[in-house]
Structure 1
């Protein structure tokens, strides 16, 4: 199983963390996700671009690295 890390800038509250967690878990190939205010650890077979797009689609003012 592959592991990927994402860094965030601009996550301000638990609601945003929950929305990001849900968006990432809904992607095909994602087995598990741990999300915090400063980033996420994703386990599974999914492309990084798909992870970033899922977060950007939420329309939050978050910078993903």
Structure 2
């Protein structure tokens, strides 16, 4: 199981945190998500690119890198 750390931008409210957490948990292979306003730590068998795309797919001004 890999651990991937992402830097988040545009996340500022509890609702934003819930949306991003849900999007990340929906990615196939994700086991756990720990998230803050400026970061996310994901564990599982998943690619960094898939996680970044999941955040961008919300089209709510969030970005991850």
TM range (shorter): over 0.9
The total of aligned residue pairs comes to 65
TM-aligned CA deviation for residue 18 of structure 1: 0.3
- Which runs of 5 or more residues in structure 1 are unaligned? none
Match of 1:50 in 2: 50
- Which runs of 5 or more residues in structure 2 are unaligned? none
Is the CA contact 2:52–2:63 (under 8 Å) kept in the aligned structure 1? no
Following TM superposition, the consecutive aligned residue runs of length 4 or more in structure 1 with deviations greater than 4 angstroms are none
Match of 2:7 in 1: 7
Match of 2:17 in 1: 17
Cα deviation, 1:23-45, whole Å, max 9, x if unaligned, reads 11111100000111011000000
Q: Does 1:60 align with 2:60?
A: yes
- Between the aligned partners of 2:31 and 2:39, the Cα distance in structure 1 is 17
